[in-house]
Each structure stands twice: as structure tokens, then as C-alpha cells.
A and B are shown apart, each in its own frame.
Chain A
Amino acid sequence: MNIPVKVETKNLSVSFGEVKAIKNISLMIPANKVTAIIGPSGCGKSTFIKSLNRMNELVKKAKTTGEVLLDGNNIYGEDYDVVNLRREVGMIFQKPNPFPKSIYDNVAFGPRIHGTHKKELLEKIVEENLKKAVLWDEVSDRLNASAMDLSGGQQQRLCISRALAVEPKVILMDEPCSALDPLATAKIESLIRVLSADYTVIIVTHNMQQAFRVADFVAFLYLGELIEYGKTKSMFENPKNELTEKYITGEFG
């Protein structure tokens, strides 16, 4: 690949006790592009994306082998700063999970945790990131309202601005639209395209059409293995692997 690589996995395998969730995945994810991970339920896509910011470690009995390189450094290496990793690699979850605090406090949460306390600076950060997530216009007059009063789509955009506020390099999204209605989904999808100019976006989705709409590269996982990976257009026009063809034309999954 002649585009700069942001994240690379080398022989990445993750197992939970006896169960092997992902087996030997080696993948190069390009910088400042949108890469989608698709596959039927249970193929390991959630596990894969969670291993990119070591969130898998929150699950008991999770065992990871292989390497994940962020800008060339193995995030599973000894002495790697996990806490800082999660700053650089942000995550948006399937079900929007705003904190039951005000909209302002949600976005300010990250910066505060990392030591920013000056009011003017925080206000600037909150406004900037709410604008980046295309939420500012809808909430600028009620920043102190509870985040729980927002609609599902707004909550998800709030989670996105919250993640952006800590200045990540990579944004992971685990089926970010599956709990949202089509209009909210469309807004998030166009936001994803805009974000990819400044961040590397990796999105897991079970909706192939979504993957084809937003992604530059698509990886197809099946039963924990990487089956095919390539540019979106070649994936949906002429997949090389028969399994890929069967999945995307809807013969199974």
C-alpha cells in the first residue's frame, strides 16, 4: 500500500477462554481514510476493533497475541501507556452512552480528566468539538441541559464530540448507527466522511450498504478470519473471494 499506514495488525489473535474470537489477522489500515469492517454476526468484528484500543482487556479471560502497531509502535508492548492509547484512539459505541451530566460537562469530561481546568480553554474546546460533530447549532443555547434529554442521534453526535475533545488520531466506531433512525444515520454517515479528512476512522458495521457508502476500504471478516480486504469499489464491483461475493450479495449472513 502506498498510502501511509496508521494502524497495522500483525497476526492478531484474540481468545476468550477456549473460544477463539479472531485468528491471525494481519491488516494495514491507511491514515485519514475510512475503513469499514464487515461480516456476519459473530465474525469477530467487534472484538477486532476493541483490540485496537485494548478495550478487550476489560473482559475477563481475554487473551491477545500478535501485534497491533499504531504509527509503528506495538500497543501491546510492555510499558506501553494504555491510558494514553485510549486518548489517541477514541471509541464510539453501538448504543450512545452520554454521561448523565450536562452537555457541556460531557464534552469537557475528557479534557478535565487530562488536566485542563481553565474555564476559557474548556469553553473553547467544548464549542469547537460540538461544531466538529455538527451539534453546536442544536445545543448552543442549552449547554447546561442534561445530555440525557437529547435524541438518540444527538446523543451519538455528543459522544463523538466528547471523543474528539481529547484530540485522538484514530476514531473507532462500533456499529455507531445501529440504534438510530435513518435520518440520524444519514447525518452521522456524512459526519464520518468529513471527519476522515483529519482523523483515521475505522467503523464496524453489519450494514453493507453503509460500508459501501462511507468507506474507502472494506475488510470482510468471517468466523474470526480476514477473508478479503480492498478498496470499496473493487469490493462491491468485483470481489476476489467467493465467500465475500456470497456474503455481499446476500446469499448468507
Chain B
Amino acid sequence: MSRLLDAGLEELSAMLHRMGEFTYDIISVSIDESLHNTNVYARIQETSDMLVSMADNVEDKTFELIARFQPVASDLRIIKSYMKIAYDFARYGRYALDISYINQRLGGIGKCEAWIPQYIEQMSKKVLHMVRISIDSLRNHNTELAKTVSKTEQEVDKMYFEFLDRLTEKPHATNKCVISSVLIIRYLERIADHATYICEAVIYLATGEKLTLR
């Protein structure tokens, strides 16, 4: 039996799915831009702005559903989580935009000492993997998949601190490279954090448990 609320929930779910795909795309593109010194800032900005307004729409829709239907139990948790996740997706967009901005200002890291772009490419692969997990686990409310993000999260954390250590040991890189790479890796780490938040929200919406996956 389909309830009035169900149509609203479907709509929210579809909005989030679209947002998710945009974010994966936008993050890959921004990393790519850093590594290959291309210029796609305009496109990234457009997408990021779109994500922010989509998050606003999700928030509006959420409150509309709450006012109308007074949802409870799993419905309530879903709606609560969707709103958080929409915000997290919008943050993905912002960080991608921040990376692109750094690329424009400081010229990217493609021309830096080889180890730097290699490191960042490696880390970005892991981070993109986490983003993928967050988007996919949301789609099916898949808690098992959501939990797997934990492992990669730890790896990314480790890589982050290791990079900082290595950078302090090797003073050969130019100022531009140092600043760019530190900022980019910082943004990547934040993206990873938000991926974790999204997965925690997926677990909460399905089971009501508030787990920490970090």
C-alpha cells in the first residue's frame, strides 16, 4: 500500500541520487585538473553552485514532508539523514571547487617533483573509492557496503599524515608545490571525512544506530 509520504520520499531519493553522480564527476575532474594542469574551473563552479541549490531544495522538501506528514520511525530517520547527506554532497562540490581554485591560482601540481603528483593521485583514488561507496550505499540503503568505508578511511588518514611528514623532511619542492599540495591533500582528506559521515548517516537511517566509522 503506497502512502502519500512515499511519493515525497521517492522524490528526495531521486534528488540525492542525481546529486551523488554530479559529485563523483566533479571531484574526479578537479583532481584531474590538478594533475594535468587543465582549466575547467568554470564548469566546476557551475556544478558546485548547482549542488548547493539542490541541497537547499532537499532541505525545503524535507521540511515540507515533515510539516505535512509528521513522519515517524524509519521515515523520520530517512528524512533526517537525507538532509544531512545533501549537505555533505554540497560540501563535496565545494571542496572540488576549492581544489580547482588552487589549481588556477597556483598552477596545479603536475609540474612538481614526481613523488608529489604520484602520491596525490594514489590518495585521490582511495578518496574517490570512498565517495563511490557513499553514493552507492545510499542508493540502496546498504549498510554492509557503508561499513566498508571504514577501512579506506583509516588508510586515507594514514596517507595524509605521512605526506605531511615527508614534506617536512624533503625541502626540495618549490613553495608553490608545497602550498598547492598541502591544500589539495587537505581538501581530499575533508572529502574523505564527509564520505564517512554519509555512510554513518546511511547506517543510522536503516538501523537507528549512531555508529562512528572513523
Contacts and interface: CB of A to CB of B under 8 A. Distances in A.
Contacts of A236: 72-73, 76
A42 B71 CA distance: 24
Nearest to A250: B3
Interface in B53-112: 70-77
A238 B75 contact: no
Contacts of B77: 237-238
A238 to B, nearest CB: 3
Contacts of A251: 1, 3
A212 interface: yes
A220 to B, nearest CB: 11
Interface in A82-107: none
A238 B204 CA distance: 10
B70 A238 contact: no
Contact of A209 (B1, B70, B74, B208): B70
Nearest to A209: B70
B74 A249 contact: yes
B11 to A, nearest CB: 18
Most buried by B among A237, A249, A252: A249
A208 B72 contact: yes
Nearest to B208: A238
A230 interface: no
A237 B70 contact: no
A238 B74 CA distance: 7
Contacts of B5: 250
Nearest to A246: B73
A245 interface: yes
Contacts of B71: 249
A248 interface: yes
Contacts of B208: 237-238
A101 B204 CA distance: 57
Task: Report, as a range, how many residues of chain B touch the other chain.
Answer: 10 to 19
Contacts of A239: 73
Contact of A237 (B1, B3, B76): B76
Contacts of B1: 251-252
A232 B103 CA distance: 52
A245 B76 contact: no
Interface in A200-252: 208-209, 212, 236-239, 244-245, 248-252
Most buried by A among B73, B75, B77, B208: B73
Contacts of A245: 73-74
Contacts of B76: 236-237
Contacts of B72: 208, 212, 236-237, 248-249
Contacts of A209: 70
Nearest to A238: B208
A213 to B, nearest CB: 9
A55 to B, nearest CB: 31
A236 to B, nearest CB: 4
A250 B71 CA distance: 9
A212 B76 CA distance: 13
Nearest to A252: B1
A249 B73 CA distance: 7
Nearest to B75: A249
Contacts of A249: 3, 71-75
A232 B127 CA distance: 40
Nearest to A237: B76
A249 to B, nearest CB: 5
Contacts of A244: 73
Nearest to A248: B72
Interface in A175-220: 208-209, 212
A244 B70 CA distance: 16
17 contacts: A208-B72, A209-B70, A212-B70, A236-B73, A236-B76, A237-B76, A237-B77, A238-B208, A239-B73, A244-B73, A248-B72, A248-B73, A249-B3, A249-B72, A249-B73, A250-B3, A250-B5
Which are the 7 A-B pairs with shortest beta-carbon distances? A238-B208, A236-B72, A245-B73, A248-B72, A209-B70, A239-B73, A250-B3
Interface of B: 1, 3, 5, 70-77, 208
Given A237-B76, A239-B73, 8 more contacts: A208-B72, A212-B70, A237-B72, A238-B77, A244-B73, A245-B74, A250-B3, A250-B5
